[in-house]
Chains A and B, each alone.
Chain A
Amino acid sequence: MSLVAGPGRGGLGDGQFSQNPKLCVDKHVAYIQSLDQRRDELDYWLTEHLRVSGIYWGLTALHLLGHPDALPRDDLLKYIISCFCDDGGFGAAPGHDSHMLYTLSAVQVLVTLDALEEFEQQIPRGKDKIGRFIADLQNRESGTFAGDRWGEEDTRFMFAGLLALSLLHLKHLVDIDKCVQYVKSCQNFDGAYGVSPGAESHSARVYTCVGTLALAGRLDAADTDALAGWLSERQLPNGGLNGRPEKLEDVCYSWWVLSSMAMIGRLHWIDKDRLTSFIFQCQDPENGGIADRPGDMVDVFHTHFGLAGLSLLGQPGLAEVDPTYCMPKQVVERVLNG
């Protein structure tokens, strides 16, 4: 999966924006398929450190678009397994060190492909190894997680760890009460959350904190109305959402903000029609793909988060997405109830 931006841009080719744009399902499917074949560009290699996440973004987007089999399953599975490291984690590409973020992406892809059994056939006790890798990265004093053996801590890694463990039915390996305590310590005077105690509130960090509370079954620990009020203030007059006060809108915040609001039951505080129209304007209607904002280059990251946001908004023609797991709801239900 290539993470190369472009070639298209959001909006129409001549810089004009359609007044009544539609969701370009087939174009997006073709766009994601084409990414798998763009290995002759330097950027393909410069984005190697994100490859496994790129596969997760592309595959999830295809599921939401109703084309779950548009990429070759065997190739994806082989690639994911080739990123598995002896320490129990996954690197972003073969030969890269294990990291929490890519371990989560790999688990999400394995689950989406319904391939955990095949994974264990090749890596005996593979699920337990992953569980150990994640659990060892928890700071047992503060509750938060490091991303790798280097020790950088970030609420992203805490949420990623819990999410992967939940998909593997291994949440009991970590101290969940401590995670909840840590999230509480990241709450700011405006009701929202930053990346660490004292850090500025930021929509993407809000998603990781609220997601952690959701996985812990402790959404009661959030100050729901203050938090949702702050989140709803992220919507700008053009319909798009930003990450912090006085910053520009960006399609990826359609996910961080909406998913958080969905988890705490306040999604309807966003003006749905205006946000939908903003995301539509970010599509390249000719070659597919979604950009961060109209006029910019499309890429798989914004394509995925734009579609996931539209799915939460109930867009017809898209499969339902789970707001916590950021995976097709059907897949999440299969793995959690199965």
Chain B
Amino acid sequence: MGLYSESPDWADIEPIPQDEGGPNPLAAIHYSEEYSEAMGYLRAVMARNEMSSRALALTEDIIDMNPAHYTIWLYRAEILFAIKADLHQELEWLNETALAHQKNYQIWNHRQTVVDRVGSPAGEAEFIARMFEKDAKNYHVWSYRQWLVRRFDLWEKGELEDVELLLKHDIRNNSAWNHRWFIVFGRDDSAVAGDVIQREMDYAKDAIRLAPQNQSPWNYLKGVTRRAGNPMSSLKDFASEFASIERPNEVRSSYALDLLAEIYSQESDGKLDAAVALDLLAKHYDPIRANYWNYRKALLEQPATAA
């Protein structure tokens, strides 16, 4: 007895029981009855490739119980398009499903398929903001957001401003830093204007001054420097604000010390200073990676190093 077996809407369907494949061992199967019944009807309607609103409702019921069942999502998308269902209503439902199942993969490809068909990103920014309230580093959401930017040409439609808000909230959000790079440098391979390079350098430097022991803006700063074709030595004064081998007890950032070691190693008479910086990292500021720092130190011995 259940939701489907007692409903006149489903009287013509004979549910197909689960086939466990191999020989069925030991323990008695005692699947929650609700889920088991719904799956029986799903197998039956999928077997006849039924495209109907009742089948759509059935997929919704099962997805609510188990959103990771990938086969159902594909079937659901086919039904939606076949019966010309209201796609805005689909997005409303998807919003709640995504909020309830943060780690699910399948929702995102489905959403992409639906939004692509709708042909407009209206409402997506608000939905993403709600997702970020729960977890501003959700990898699926960020990947989806990049798809939206490319699909609807949103490069200059508030993305940078939004990233700044997120970073204001959490300066250590590496996902937001990555999105900043994507928006500023990821559009194509063409040269980026000098004033934009300067703006990005200043932005990363300000973030580092707020929290010097934060990996993300250091990576960003070095990335911008390389992208602009400038030598790392152009960052020497800045890095020296946070670390100096003359004052080994006052290092405020292991990343600054790391960068200084790299800069020294490229100077004609800087090998000894580089070795001092790398020793400090190996012994005091980042001992868990001692083997890495020692490797960098060993590279100093080789002619024409590229640390």
A: residues with CB less than 8 A from B are 36-40, 42, 44-46, 48-50, 75-76, 78-79, 82-83, 91-97, 99, 148-150, 152, 188-190, 194-202, 225, 228-229, 232-233, 235, 237, 239, 244-247, 268-271, 274
Q: Across the interface, which residues of B come within 8 angstroms of A78, CB to CB?
A: 21-23
Q: Across the interface, which residues of A come within 8 angstroms of B186, CB to CB?
A: 197-198
Q: Across the interface, which residues of A come within 8 angstroms of B32, CB to CB?
A: 42, 45
Q: Can you list 18 A-B pairs with a CB-CB distance of less than 8 A?
A: A40-B28, A45-B35, A46-B65, A46-B68, A49-B71, A76-B22, A78-B22, A94-B21, A95-B19, A97-B71, A150-B109, A190-B219, A195-B143, A200-B179, A239-B288, A246-B172, A269-B295, A270-B291
DSSP majority for the B interface?
helix
A97: nearest residue on chain B (CB-CB)? B71
| Chain A min CB distance to B192 (Å) | 13
Q: Across the interface, which residues of B come within 8 angstroms of A82, CB to CB?
A: 19, 21-22
- From the candidates A45, A198, A200, name the one contacting B139 in the complex (CB within 8 A): A200
Q: Across the interface, which residues of A come within 8 angstroms of B291, CB to CB?
A: 268-271
Query: In the complex the two chains form, is A244's CB within 8 Å of B288's CB?
Result: no
| Chain A min CB distance to B62 (Å) | 10
**B107-166 interface (Cβ within 8 A of A):** 109, 137, 139, 142-143, 146
Q: Across the interface, which residues of A come within 8 angstroms of B87, CB to CB?
A: none
Please measure, in the bound complex, the distance between the C-alpha atom of A188 and the C-alpha atom of B27, giving whole angstroms: 50
Which of the candidate stretches B50-58, B92-100, B220-228 sits at the interface with the other chain?
B220-228
Cβ-based interface call for B102 (8 A): no
Contacts A45-B32, A49-B68, A200-B139 given; does A269 touch B289 at CB 8 Å: yes
Cβ-based interface call for B230 (8 A): no
DSSP majority for the A interface?
loop
Nearest first, the 3 closest Cβ-Cβ pairs linking A and B are: A189-B223, A82-B21, A200-B178
Q: Across the interface, which residues of B come within 8 angstroms of A83, CB to CB?
A: 21
Cβ-based interface call for B43 (8 A): yes
Contacts A49-B70, A246-B173 given; does A189 touch B143 at CB 8 Å: no
- From the candidates A190, A194, A229, A244, name the one contacting B223 in the complex (CB within 8 A): A190
B: residues with CB less than 8 A from A are 18-23, 25-32, 35-36, 39, 43, 65-66, 68-71, 73-74, 77, 109, 137, 139, 142-143, 146, 172-175, 178-179, 181-182, 185-186, 215-216, 219-220, 222-223, 226-227, 288-292, 295, 307
Contacts A152-B109, A235-B288 given; does A40 touch B27 at CB 8 Å: yes
Please measure, in the bound complex, the distance between the C-alpha atom of A201 and the C-alpha atom of B177, giving whole angstroms: 11
Q: Across the interface, which residues of A come within 8 angstroms of B71, CB to CB?
A: 49, 91, 96-97
| Chain B min CB distance to A170 (Å) | 25
Query: In the complex the two chains form, is B227's CB within 8 Å of A189's CB?
Result: yes
Query: In the complex the two chains form, is B292's CB within 8 Å of A97's CB?
Result: no
| Chain A min CB distance to B88 (Å) | 22
Q: Across the interface, which residues of B come within 8 angstroms of A200, CB to CB?
A: 139, 142, 174-175, 178-179
Q: Across the interface, which residues of B come within 8 angstroms of A199, CB to CB?
A: 139, 142-143, 146, 178
| Chain B min CB distance to A235 (Å) | 5
B24: nearest residue on chain A (CB-CB)? A39
| Chain A min CB distance to B87 (Å) | 17
